[in-house]
Amino acid sequence: MAQRYVRVQDREGRVYYGLLQLSQSVQVLDAPPWLQGQPTDLQLEPDSYRLLAPCAPSKIVAVGKNYTDHAAEMGTPVPHEPLLFLKPPTSVIATDGTIHYPPQSQRVDYEGELALVIGERAFDCVPEQAQAKIWGYTIANDVTARDLQRQDVQWTRAKGFDTFCPLGPWIVRELNPGALLQTFVNDNTQPVQFARIDEMVFPPDFLVSYISQVMTLLPGDVILTGTPFGVGPLHPGDRVVVAIEGIGRLENTITIRQPGRSH
């Protein structure tokens, strides 16, 4: 199994980066691994921590309509260039975290996606330089209030709610280019989304290069590479799983947001 890089919180609230062992213990690192974090003597036992999102990005840059059949289901062509938008860092939650269904929306959709984690500062890279800026890969759910996306001129509100960016459960460094992405809702064994990640129109190195020509990407920043065909609604009480071969499963439940409560 590939090495799994995690970020965890212990019972005292301390946050660590680490390596997840097969025993489920965590070997703590002294810094984020993309900043050359080295193993320490500290080991966390399996019942003494909880998984956080595997990085804490300064920004999440997302790409819309990057799979041909998804663009078609949205009734639009694939853009000639990547279509970028931002999700705020406050939208991030970990695997097993709860997606809060906001009162402003009557239609909240899942969007299973491959996420890239940036390892070093990147500005104005060509694609040949960009691959080296990608430190690893994880899974994201680009949760979207579809009715607000259609209603608003741009997507900040629809994509930006707290809890609308489940991320994790961990980062791996290598990924098979043809890895399968699947999304499942509740106990259905048939996936609602099913695609190979190399079906994306603009590949990871192109996306990193393109984005770096606009804004500086910082270590720990995250890029969401777009969702394939099959987006659909979530309802309070649902459980949604996004799985990518060679990474793992990102699993979250949905509840109605309580007035005045953040996540």
Binding residues for Mg ion, per CB under 5 A? 111, 142, 227
Nearer to Mg ion, 75 or 260 (CB): 75
Q: How far is the CB of 147 from Mg ion (least distance, A)?
A: 16
Element (DSSP H or E) covering residue 127 = helix 127-130
Q: How far is the CB of 213 from Mg ion (least distance, A)?
A: 21
Q: How far is the CB of 121 from Mg ion (least distance, A)?
A: 25
Nearer to Mg ion, 44 or 158 (CB): 158
Nearer to Mg ion, 33 or 112 (CB): 112
Residue with tokens 């270590």: 219
E strands, 77-133, in order: 83-87, 92-93, 98-101, 108-110, 112-118
> Do the strands 92-93 and 165-172 form a parallel or antiparallel pair, or are they unpaired?
parallel
Q: Give the Cα separation of 187 and 180 in Å (integer).
A: 19
Q: How far is the CB of 95 from Mg ion (least distance, A)?
A: 18
What's the sign of the alpha-carbon dihedral 104, 194, 63, 58? positive
Nearer to Mg ion, 28 or 92 (CB): 92
Nearest to 182, CA basis, from 174, 192, 173: 192
- Contact, 146 vs 109, CB < 8 A? yes
| Structure tokens belonging to residue 18 | 């680490």
Residue of closest CB approach to Mg ion? 142
* 3-state SS class at 93: strand
Nearer to Mg ion, 44 or 224 (CB): 224
Residues 6+ apart with CB under 8 A from 80: none
Q: How far is the CB of 61 from Mg ion (least distance, A)?
A: 11
Q: Which amino acid is at 104?
A: Q
Separate counts of helices (H) and strands (E) for the chain: 5, 20
Nearer to Mg ion, 159 or 257 (CB): 159
